[in-house]
Structure 1
């Protein structure tokens, strides 16, 4: 069965089905507590433990240990047989394949950066703006310009953004067609994680990462650590107001166009079009929503973060939005390239067409 079959809407068939939405905040906090207190790592290391052994190992009294174990077990994150607890197969598998640290970072991102602003979702919807941003120091109108005011949160943000990228990068690497491409401009490329992974998979291609100073400083170090400084350049720039570097035959917007309004996204696509030669390629990589307005659930719930926090008009757009914007800004041969993973990420690409003959 295709993984995409899991991306449809959830059905509420009885009042019992309301338990998940009603206690969703508590469900997340149980997951977060299991991560922060070290429960999942403990069970991964020890295999199976009784409640008393869990409490002793984590420094918890019997009551909080029982509350935690009841919560994560009812959620299916752990399992119990004969009074002994173990991780569920999915979580244990993440420890075994090395992906657990990525999930733990994503949980930390939700807990430290997103959770409190989500309480401002109603106001954000009523006012059509990111009301949760008021919880962060500074005066910038988006999260990215406020984070430098709180360096520890900025470091956490970019660390967790790297983990979000590592989660979705297999889709980008598999779906980004760089056939015939010599050099890619990675607009808003953050710490370089996307360029690094694509460079590894496409040894004949060079890259330039364009972003704000805080991100570019981190990117330069990461690129050097991976031995790719000869193939990945970094440039400081405002992606809206500064000219794009010349000499690229592909432009990549990775996890970028979810941040901005339709008007801003068209502006960015026009800048990409102007910077590309005839036949040049634009690629948009994001989590996508479906065209039918009923999912996927991942996109629907993740949209609360974009609604409350990132920028005043950000949201998770549908495939058809990107298709329309690309055609409006001069691209054709527009192609959808969905991934085949549990997250609804995908690539949509277009080619800069030649001007119409006069």
Structure 2
């Protein structure tokens, strides 16, 4: 008798739910269903497609938990209604653009291993303006979501000057400044990326309190006087020696007692957990020459070597994988 193969069987279907999500966001189905649940025929008419082609996708989204169906009428789940309806305050439906880019990297993992180099390399200093813009436009919803989550997890009341190191589109800094009206933020990024960030800053109601500054913090130290710093999804882009140098260059601009939050793909020391982080390294293999998800102990050692204290690691209740450290007073 053949042994069971549940893991292999799951591999066949587990990838399909994200593809249903992507198709639903591309067709903007959740916006169409926001205020008016519809039948497949009604929804098909609203987006000008054949209902016989649309219906299987709708039931796939029901199976994925993003839609609810009752007697042939489809409506958004609570989660989809909150995050995937265009025009809502917490809309992140365009994150599918980022997902497509990440998945392309994962598809090339075997080829990158064979070649011994990333075959979908993301070197933001060398990429064309179009490629940088496309990547960070897709990344912006994820950055906003991280900012909203950080604002819920940490009380920034009383803090005044934030530096977002490698802040990408600026979404995290913008989200924090919207929540905390006395907070000002400086986003430090490569020149090509600041051009993207400036577009989002200009459209934000807090644009007078957020600025993007072009800099390469691997080359020269950060200047200023900040009482809080965030490094999100940046250390995983870099190799270990680069991570250490970045922290060395950030440290002089942090005021006594300042807190540093490192958010991203952080591995347990066994390198097997969290499982989603271990799996994310498939993408990094194709994206970065030296970038990988680094372990908690690696990051703890870098911080200790740079004089940080009160170093701790936590996964917040809303899902942020985070290292926290403080500058001595």
Question: One fold, TM greater than 0.5?
Answer: yes
SS at match of 1:190: coil
CA RMSD between the two structures: 3.4
Query: Is the CA contact 2:221–2:250 (under 8 Å) kept in the aligned structure 1?
Result: no
Change (3 A) 1:71 1:232: closer
Q: Distance in 1 between matches of 2:255 and 2:270?
A: 35
5 Å matches for 1:188-207? 188-207=166-185
Q: Which residue of 2 aligns with 1:154?
A: 132
Partner of 2:38: 48
Give the alignment partner of residue 59 of structure 1, picking from 25, 48, 70.
48
Residues 208 and 233 in structure 1, CA contact (< 8 A), matched pair in contact too:
yes
**Once the 2 structures are TM-superposed, how far is the Cα of residue 44 of structure 1 from its aligned partner?**
3.2
Match of 2:188 in 1: 210
Q: SS at the partner of 1:159? A: helix
Q: Secondary structure of 1:210's partner? A: strand
Which of 299, 311, 316 is the matching residue for 1:322?
299
CA distance in 1, matches of 2:10, 2:172: 34
- With over 3 angstroms needed to count, the CA separation of the structure-2 counterparts of 1:194 and 1:77, relative to structure 1, is closer
With 176-185 and 121-130 compared, the bigger mean Cα shift is at 176-185
Is structure 2 residue 67 aligned with structure 1 residue 78? yes
**Structure 1, residues 270-310: CA drift from partner, whole Å, max 9, x if none?**
1123444555543312243445544434434444333322x
Whether 1:348 and 2:328 are equivalent positions in the alignment is no
**Partner SS state of residue 291, structure 2:** coil
Determine the C-alpha separation between the residues in 2 that align with 1:283 and 1:181: 14
Give aligned pairs, total.
326
Higher RCO, 1 vs 2 (CA within 8 Å, ≥6 residues apart): 1
Give ranges in structure 2 of 5+ residues lacking alignment: none
Verify the 8 A CA contact 1:185 1:209 in the aligned structure 2: yes
Distance of 1:251 and 1:79 partners within structure 2:
41
**What is the CA–CA distance in structure 2 between the aligned matches of 1:298 and 1:85, rounded to whole Å?**
31
Give the corresponding residue for 1:144.
Answer: 124
Q: Equivalents in 2 of 1:18, 1:175: separation in Å?
A: 37
Give the deviation of 1:67 after TM superposition: 3.5
Q: Which residue does 2:13 correspond to in 1?
A: 23
**Residues 30 and 249 (structure 1 numbering): CA distance in 2 closer, same or farther, change over 3 Å?**
closer
Write the distance in 2 (CA, Å) between the matches of 1:232 and 1:62.
46
